[in-house]
Amino acid sequence: MKRFNCACGQPVFFDNSRCLRCGGHLGFDPERLDIVRINQASGNHWSDADATEFKLCANSVAHGNCNWLVLVYDTDDYCLSCRLNRTIPNLDHPENPRRWRTLESAKRRLVYSLLALGLPVQSKVRGWPLGLAFDFVEDQRSNPDVADAFVLTHHADGVITLNIHEADDVVRVGVRESMNERYRTVLGHFRHESGHYYFQQLVAFAPVVEDFRALFGDERNDYAAALERAYNEGPPPDWGDRYISAYAASHPSEDWAETWAHYLHITDCLETAVAFGLHEPVAGDFAAALTAWSAFSISLNEINRSLGLADAYPFHINEVTADKLQLVHDIIVGSTLPR
Ligand SMILES: [Zn+2]
Ligand SMILES: [Zn+2]
Ligand SMILES: [Zn+2]
Protein backbone atom coordinates (compact mmCIF):
# COMPACT_ATOMS: atom_id res chain seq x y z
CA MET A 1 0.00 0.00 0.00
CA LYS A 2 1.12 3.53 -0.79
CA ARG A 3 1.47 6.25 1.80
CA PHE A 4 -1.15 8.99 1.71
CA ASN A 5 -1.26 12.61 2.83
CA CYS A 6 -4.09 15.08 3.18
CA ALA A 7 -3.69 18.32 1.18
CA CYS A 8 -2.79 19.94 4.53
CA GLY A 9 0.21 17.61 4.83
CA GLN A 10 -1.17 15.33 7.53
CA PRO A 11 -0.42 11.63 6.97
CA VAL A 12 -3.71 9.80 6.40
CA PHE A 13 -4.62 6.19 5.71
CA PHE A 14 -6.39 4.14 3.06
CA ASP A 15 -9.69 3.88 4.98
CA ASN A 16 -9.87 7.50 6.17
CA SER A 17 -12.77 9.76 5.20
CA ARG A 18 -11.83 12.73 7.42
CA CYS A 19 -8.53 14.43 8.19
CA LEU A 20 -8.04 14.72 11.94
CA ARG A 21 -5.79 17.77 11.51
CA CYS A 22 -7.70 20.09 9.16
CA GLY A 23 -11.12 18.44 9.44
CA GLY A 24 -11.38 18.14 5.65
CA HIS A 25 -13.36 15.40 3.93
CA LEU A 26 -11.25 12.72 2.26
CA GLY A 27 -12.02 10.15 -0.39
CA PHE A 28 -10.06 7.59 -2.37
CA ASP A 29 -9.91 8.24 -6.11
CA PRO A 30 -9.46 4.83 -7.79
CA GLU A 31 -8.36 6.51 -11.05
CA ARG A 32 -5.31 8.07 -9.42
CA LEU A 33 -5.05 5.46 -6.66
CA ASP A 34 -4.76 8.29 -4.18
CA ILE A 35 -6.58 9.85 -1.25
CA VAL A 36 -7.82 13.34 -2.11
CA ARG A 37 -9.28 16.11 0.03
CA ILE A 38 -12.69 17.10 -1.26
CA ASN A 39 -15.08 20.00 -0.72
CA GLN A 40 -18.84 19.72 -0.89
CA ALA A 41 -20.31 21.75 -3.77
CA SER A 42 -23.92 20.75 -3.17
CA GLY A 43 -25.71 17.61 -2.00
CA ASN A 44 -23.62 14.60 -3.06
CA HIS A 45 -21.46 16.68 -5.39
CA TRP A 46 -17.87 17.21 -4.40
CA SER A 47 -14.67 18.54 -5.95
CA ASP A 48 -10.99 18.36 -5.19
CA ALA A 49 -8.29 21.05 -5.52
CA ASP A 50 -7.93 20.27 -9.26
CA ALA A 51 -11.68 20.85 -9.73
CA THR A 52 -12.24 17.17 -10.53
CA GLU A 53 -15.87 16.51 -9.66
CA PHE A 54 -16.93 13.48 -7.67
CA LYS A 55 -19.81 11.92 -5.82
CA LEU A 56 -19.39 9.76 -2.74
CA CYS A 57 -20.02 6.05 -3.29
CA ALA A 58 -23.67 5.17 -2.62
CA ASN A 59 -22.54 2.85 0.18
CA SER A 60 -20.87 5.82 1.84
CA VAL A 61 -24.06 7.88 1.61
CA ALA A 62 -26.37 5.09 2.81
CA HIS A 63 -24.18 3.09 5.20
CA GLY A 64 -20.97 5.05 5.86
CA ASN A 65 -18.90 1.98 5.01
CA CYS A 66 -16.96 3.14 1.94
CA ASN A 67 -14.58 6.05 1.29
CA TRP A 68 -14.15 5.62 -2.46
CA LEU A 69 -15.13 8.32 -4.93
CA VAL A 70 -17.06 8.06 -8.17
CA LEU A 71 -16.60 10.58 -11.00
CA VAL A 72 -19.67 12.79 -11.02
CA TYR A 73 -20.64 11.95 -14.62
CA ASP A 74 -20.41 8.17 -13.99
CA THR A 75 -23.89 6.70 -14.47
CA ASP A 76 -23.12 4.29 -11.61
CA ASP A 77 -23.67 5.54 -8.07
CA TYR A 78 -21.42 2.86 -6.60
CA CYS A 79 -17.61 2.92 -6.60
CA LEU A 80 -15.46 0.44 -8.54
CA SER A 81 -15.27 -1.83 -5.49
CA CYS A 82 -18.89 -1.66 -4.28
CA ARG A 83 -20.35 -2.15 -7.77
CA LEU A 84 -18.88 -5.67 -7.73
CA ASN A 85 -21.39 -6.71 -5.04
CA ARG A 86 -24.13 -9.09 -6.10
CA THR A 87 -25.32 -10.06 -2.62
CA ILE A 88 -24.78 -8.01 0.52
CA PRO A 89 -25.51 -9.24 4.06
CA ASN A 90 -29.00 -8.91 5.51
CA LEU A 91 -28.60 -5.66 7.46
CA ASP A 92 -31.56 -6.41 9.73
CA HIS A 93 -29.27 -8.76 11.64
CA PRO A 94 -27.61 -6.56 14.30
CA GLU A 95 -24.11 -8.00 13.78
CA ASN A 96 -24.13 -7.77 10.00
CA PRO A 97 -23.40 -4.06 9.42
CA ARG A 98 -20.16 -4.55 11.38
CA ARG A 99 -19.29 -7.75 9.51
CA TRP A 100 -20.03 -6.11 6.17
CA ARG A 101 -17.77 -3.12 7.00
CA THR A 102 -14.90 -5.52 7.69
CA LEU A 103 -15.47 -7.31 4.39
CA GLU A 104 -15.69 -4.11 2.32
CA SER A 105 -12.52 -2.73 3.87
CA ALA A 106 -10.60 -5.88 2.90
CA LYS A 107 -12.21 -5.95 -0.55
CA ARG A 108 -11.08 -2.39 -1.25
CA ARG A 109 -7.50 -3.47 -0.47
CA LEU A 110 -7.84 -6.31 -2.94
CA VAL A 111 -9.27 -4.00 -5.62
CA TYR A 112 -6.52 -1.43 -4.97
CA SER A 113 -3.88 -4.10 -5.67
CA LEU A 114 -5.68 -5.38 -8.79
CA LEU A 115 -5.95 -1.84 -10.19
CA ALA A 116 -2.33 -1.07 -9.30
CA LEU A 117 -1.25 -4.21 -11.18
CA GLY A 118 -3.23 -3.06 -14.23
CA LEU A 119 -5.65 -5.98 -14.10
CA PRO A 120 -9.22 -5.54 -15.39
CA VAL A 121 -11.79 -5.09 -12.60
CA GLN A 122 -15.19 -5.21 -14.27
CA SER A 123 -18.50 -5.89 -12.62
CA LYS A 124 -20.40 -8.99 -13.61
CA VAL A 125 -23.58 -7.44 -12.21
CA ARG A 126 -23.14 -4.40 -14.48
CA GLY A 127 -23.31 -6.37 -17.71
CA TRP A 128 -19.77 -7.76 -18.07
CA PRO A 129 -20.29 -11.54 -18.52
CA LEU A 130 -16.59 -12.21 -17.85
CA GLY A 131 -16.52 -9.76 -14.95
CA LEU A 132 -16.23 -10.31 -11.23
CA ALA A 133 -18.94 -10.34 -8.55
CA PHE A 134 -19.19 -10.96 -4.82
CA ASP A 135 -21.83 -12.77 -2.79
CA PHE A 136 -21.59 -12.04 0.95
CA VAL A 137 -23.82 -14.67 2.53
CA GLU A 138 -24.40 -16.41 5.84
CA ASP A 139 -25.39 -19.93 6.76
CA GLN A 140 -27.25 -21.46 9.67
CA ARG A 141 -24.14 -21.48 11.83
CA SER A 142 -24.45 -17.69 12.26
CA ASN A 143 -28.15 -17.29 11.45
CA PRO A 144 -30.64 -20.17 11.92
CA ASP A 145 -33.21 -18.31 9.78
CA VAL A 146 -31.36 -18.64 6.46
CA ALA A 147 -31.84 -21.48 3.97
CA ASP A 148 -28.24 -22.68 3.66
CA ALA A 149 -26.93 -24.97 6.37
CA PHE A 150 -23.33 -24.61 5.26
CA VAL A 151 -21.72 -22.05 2.93
CA LEU A 152 -18.11 -22.51 1.92
CA THR A 153 -16.04 -19.56 0.77
CA HIS A 154 -15.27 -20.23 -2.88
CA HIS A 155 -15.13 -18.95 -6.45
CA ALA A 156 -17.31 -20.14 -9.34
CA ASP A 157 -17.57 -18.55 -12.79
CA GLY A 158 -16.54 -15.05 -11.72
CA VAL A 159 -18.53 -15.02 -8.48
CA ILE A 160 -16.63 -14.99 -5.20
CA THR A 161 -18.79 -16.24 -2.34
CA LEU A 162 -17.65 -15.35 1.14
CA ASN A 163 -19.29 -16.59 4.32
CA ILE A 164 -19.69 -13.42 6.37
CA HIS A 165 -18.91 -15.21 9.62
CA GLU A 166 -15.27 -14.98 8.45
CA ALA A 167 -15.52 -11.35 9.62
CA ASP A 168 -15.81 -12.62 13.22
CA ASP A 169 -12.35 -13.14 14.71
CA VAL A 170 -13.45 -15.92 17.08
CA VAL A 171 -15.05 -17.91 14.27
CA ARG A 172 -12.20 -17.39 11.84
CA VAL A 173 -9.48 -18.33 14.31
CA GLY A 174 -11.49 -21.38 15.35
CA VAL A 175 -11.67 -22.54 11.74
CA ARG A 176 -7.97 -21.80 11.27
CA GLU A 177 -7.09 -23.99 14.24
CA SER A 178 -9.44 -26.80 13.28
CA MET A 179 -8.01 -26.81 9.73
CA ASN A 180 -4.44 -26.59 11.06
CA GLU A 181 -3.75 -23.48 8.94
CA ARG A 182 -0.95 -20.98 9.55
CA TYR A 183 -2.78 -17.96 8.28
CA ARG A 184 -6.45 -17.07 7.77
CA THR A 185 -7.68 -13.51 7.15
CA VAL A 186 -10.53 -11.92 5.23
CA LEU A 187 -8.03 -10.19 2.95
CA GLY A 188 -6.29 -13.52 2.41
CA HIS A 189 -9.60 -15.08 1.36
CA PHE A 190 -10.20 -12.33 -1.18
CA ARG A 191 -6.70 -12.63 -2.57
CA HIS A 192 -6.97 -16.40 -2.84
CA GLU A 193 -10.40 -16.41 -4.50
CA SER A 194 -9.37 -13.65 -6.91
CA GLY A 195 -6.62 -16.03 -8.01
CA HIS A 196 -9.23 -18.53 -9.18
CA TYR A 197 -11.02 -15.76 -11.09
CA TYR A 198 -7.89 -14.45 -12.83
CA PHE A 199 -6.82 -18.00 -13.68
CA GLN A 200 -9.90 -18.14 -15.91
CA GLN A 201 -9.10 -14.70 -17.36
CA LEU A 202 -5.35 -14.94 -17.87
CA VAL A 203 -4.31 -18.59 -17.97
CA ALA A 204 -6.97 -21.19 -18.72
CA PHE A 205 -7.51 -20.30 -22.37
CA ALA A 206 -4.07 -18.82 -23.15
CA PRO A 207 -0.93 -20.57 -24.48
CA VAL A 208 0.70 -19.91 -21.09
CA VAL A 209 -1.49 -22.67 -19.63
CA GLU A 210 1.24 -25.11 -20.76
CA ASP A 211 3.84 -23.24 -18.66
CA PHE A 212 1.36 -23.35 -15.80
CA ARG A 213 0.85 -27.12 -16.09
CA ALA A 214 4.61 -27.76 -16.26
CA LEU A 215 5.07 -26.06 -12.89
CA PHE A 216 1.80 -26.51 -11.02
CA GLY A 217 0.38 -29.70 -12.57
CA ASP A 218 -2.77 -30.30 -14.58
CA GLU A 219 -5.74 -28.28 -13.35
CA ARG A 220 -8.09 -30.68 -15.18
CA ASN A 221 -7.35 -33.42 -12.62
CA ASP A 222 -10.43 -34.49 -10.64
CA TYR A 223 -10.93 -31.62 -8.21
CA ALA A 224 -13.46 -33.18 -5.83
CA ALA A 225 -11.38 -36.36 -5.47
CA ALA A 226 -8.20 -34.35 -4.84
CA LEU A 227 -9.84 -32.21 -2.16
CA GLU A 228 -11.33 -35.27 -0.48
CA ARG A 229 -7.95 -37.00 -0.48
CA ALA A 230 -6.29 -33.90 1.01
CA TYR A 231 -8.98 -33.71 3.67
CA ASN A 232 -8.72 -37.40 4.61
CA GLU A 233 -4.97 -37.96 4.28
CA GLY A 234 -3.50 -34.50 4.89
CA PRO A 235 -0.73 -32.98 2.79
CA PRO A 236 2.28 -34.98 1.57
CA PRO A 237 5.07 -34.92 4.20
CA ASP A 238 7.42 -32.99 1.88
CA TRP A 239 4.87 -30.31 0.91
CA GLY A 240 7.18 -27.62 2.33
CA ASP A 241 9.70 -28.32 -0.44
CA ARG A 242 7.24 -27.72 -3.26
CA TYR A 243 4.33 -25.60 -2.06
CA ILE A 244 3.75 -22.32 -0.24
CA SER A 245 1.16 -23.90 2.06
CA ALA A 246 -0.21 -27.32 2.93
CA TYR A 247 -3.51 -26.44 1.27
CA ALA A 248 -1.69 -25.60 -1.98
CA ALA A 249 -0.68 -29.27 -2.20
CA SER A 250 -4.32 -30.36 -2.55
CA HIS A 251 -4.80 -29.56 -6.28
CA PRO A 252 -3.06 -27.48 -9.01
CA SER A 253 -5.96 -24.98 -8.97
CA GLU A 254 -5.55 -24.44 -5.22
CA ASP A 255 -1.76 -24.22 -5.65
CA TRP A 256 -2.28 -21.44 -8.20
CA ALA A 257 -4.77 -19.56 -5.96
CA GLU A 258 -2.47 -19.84 -2.94
CA THR A 259 0.56 -18.71 -4.96
CA TRP A 260 -1.44 -15.83 -6.46
CA ALA A 261 -2.51 -14.74 -2.97
CA HIS A 262 1.12 -14.77 -1.83
CA TYR A 263 2.13 -12.73 -4.87
CA LEU A 264 -0.36 -10.08 -3.68
CA HIS A 265 0.79 -10.39 -0.03
CA ILE A 266 4.41 -9.92 -1.05
CA THR A 267 4.01 -7.08 -3.53
CA ASP A 268 1.65 -5.16 -1.22
CA CYS A 269 3.83 -5.59 1.87
CA LEU A 270 6.97 -4.56 -0.01
CA GLU A 271 5.20 -1.48 -1.34
CA THR A 272 4.17 -0.58 2.22
CA ALA A 273 7.70 -1.20 3.56
CA VAL A 274 9.22 1.09 0.92
CA ALA A 275 6.51 3.74 1.40
CA PHE A 276 7.24 3.91 5.14
CA GLY A 277 11.01 3.93 4.73
CA LEU A 278 11.46 0.44 6.20
CA HIS A 279 13.09 -0.85 3.02
CA GLU A 280 15.04 0.63 0.13
CA PRO A 281 13.18 0.60 -3.20
CA VAL A 282 14.00 -2.76 -4.74
CA ALA A 283 16.14 -2.35 -7.85
CA GLY A 284 15.98 -5.08 -10.45
CA ASP A 285 13.56 -7.77 -11.45
CA PHE A 286 10.97 -9.79 -9.55
CA ALA A 287 13.59 -12.28 -8.37
CA ALA A 288 15.31 -9.38 -6.58
CA ALA A 289 12.00 -8.41 -4.97
CA LEU A 290 11.54 -11.98 -3.78
CA THR A 291 15.03 -12.06 -2.27
CA ALA A 292 14.31 -8.75 -0.54
CA TRP A 293 10.99 -10.09 0.76
CA SER A 294 12.54 -13.28 2.13
CA ALA A 295 14.96 -11.22 4.22
CA PHE A 296 12.44 -8.56 5.17
CA SER A 297 9.76 -11.03 6.26
CA ILE A 298 12.22 -12.47 8.80
CA SER A 299 12.59 -8.99 10.37
CA LEU A 300 8.82 -8.59 10.28
CA ASN A 301 8.35 -11.87 12.15
CA GLU A 302 10.96 -10.88 14.73
CA ILE A 303 9.15 -7.59 15.34
CA ASN A 304 5.92 -9.50 15.90
CA ARG A 305 7.69 -11.88 18.30
CA SER A 306 9.02 -8.84 20.18
CA LEU A 307 5.37 -7.90 20.78
CA GLY A 308 4.38 -11.42 21.79
CA LEU A 309 2.42 -11.83 18.57
CA ALA A 310 2.36 -14.70 16.11
CA ASP A 311 4.57 -14.44 13.02
CA ALA A 312 3.22 -11.96 10.48
CA TYR A 313 4.37 -14.13 7.56
CA PRO A 314 4.62 -17.74 8.76
CA PHE A 315 5.80 -19.12 5.41
CA HIS A 316 9.01 -20.19 3.74
CA ILE A 317 9.43 -19.61 0.03
CA ASN A 318 11.17 -22.70 -1.36
CA GLU A 319 12.79 -22.76 -4.83
CA VAL A 320 9.80 -24.38 -6.54
CA THR A 321 7.42 -21.80 -5.07
CA ALA A 322 9.79 -19.02 -6.16
CA ASP A 323 9.48 -20.30 -9.74
CA LYS A 324 5.69 -20.40 -9.40
CA LEU A 325 5.60 -16.83 -8.04
CA GLN A 326 7.79 -15.77 -10.95
CA LEU A 327 5.26 -17.28 -13.39
CA VAL A 328 2.40 -15.43 -11.66
CA HIS A 329 4.43 -12.23 -12.02
CA ASP A 330 5.20 -12.87 -15.70
CA ILE A 331 1.54 -13.62 -16.44
CA ILE A 332 0.33 -10.42 -14.70
CA VAL A 333 2.99 -8.24 -16.33
CA GLY A 334 2.36 -9.84 -19.73
CA SER A 335 -1.42 -9.47 -19.48
CA THR A 336 -2.93 -7.77 -22.49
CA LEU A 337 -6.48 -7.74 -21.15
CA PRO A 338 -8.07 -4.30 -21.52
CA ARG A 339 -8.80 -2.62 -18.21
ZN1 LIG B 1 -5.94 17.68 6.38
ZN1 LIG C 1 -17.87 1.99 -2.48
ZN1 LIG D 1 -9.37 -22.06 -3.64
- C-alpha 78 to ligand 1 mean position (Å): 25
Distance 24 CA to ligand 1 centre (A): 6
What gap in Å lies between CA 216 and CA 255, rounded to an integer?
A: 7
* pLDDT value of residue 243: 98
Distance in Å, CA 178 to ligand 1 centroid: 45
- For ligand 3, the distance from its centroid to the CA atom of residue 318, given in whole angstroms, is 21
Q: What are phi and psi of 70, to 5 degrees?
A: -125, 135
CA of 92 to the centre of ligand 2 (A): 20
pLDDT of residue 335: 84
- Report how far apart, in Å, the C-alpha atoms of 274 and of each of 81, 231, 270, 281, 282 are: 25, 39, 6, 6, 8
If phi over 0 gives left and psi between -120 and 50 gives alpha, with beta otherwise, what is residue 9?
left
DSSP SS3 for 162: strand
User: 109 C-alpha vs ligand 3 centroid, how far in Å?
Assistant: 19
- Ligand 2: distance of its center to the CA of 158 in Å? 19
Q: What is d(CA 100, CA 162) in angstroms, rounded to the nearest whole number?
A: 11
Task: Say what the pLDDT of residue 185 is.
Answer: 97
Q: Which bound ligand lies closest to the C-alpha atom of 261?
A: 3
Which ligand has an atom closest to residue 108 CA? Answer: 2
CA of 84 to the centre of ligand 2 (A): 9
Whole-number Å distance, alpha carbon 172 to ligand 3 midpoint, is 16
pLDDT of the residue at 240: 95
**Per-residue pLDDT, 339:** 66
- Among all bound ligands, the one having the nearest atom to the CA of 79 is 2
Taking the C-alpha atoms of residue 104 and residue 25, their distance in angstroms, rounded to an integer, is 20
Q: Which of 331, 322, 323 is nearest to 214 (CA)?
A: 323
Three-state secondary structure call for residue 327:
helix
Cα 68 from Cα 163, distance rounded (Å): 24
Give the ligand with the smallest distance to the CA of 70.
2
Range 37-63 burial, b when 16+ CB lie within 10 A, else e: bbeeeeebebebeeebebbbbbbbeeb
Per-residue pLDDT in tens (0 to 9) along the chain, 339 residues? 999 999 999 999 999 999 999 999 999 999 999 999 999 999 999 999 999 999 999 999 999 999 999 999 999 999 999 999 999 999 999 999 999 999 999 999 999 999 999 999 999 999 999 999 999 999 888 888 888 888 889 999 999 999 999 999 999 999 999 988 999 999 999 999 999 999 999 999 999 999 999 999 999 999 999 999 999 999 999 999 999 999 999 999 999 999 999 999 999 999 999 999 999 999 889 999 999 999 999 999 999 999 999 999 999 999 999 999 999 999 999 987 776
Q: Is the Cα torsion angle 90, 96, 98, 102 positive or negative in sign?
A: negative
Q: What is the 3-state secondary structure (H, E, C) of 217-242?
A: CCCCCCHHHHHHHHHHHCCCCCHHHC
Q: Is 13 helix (H, G, I), strand (E, B) or coil?
A: coil
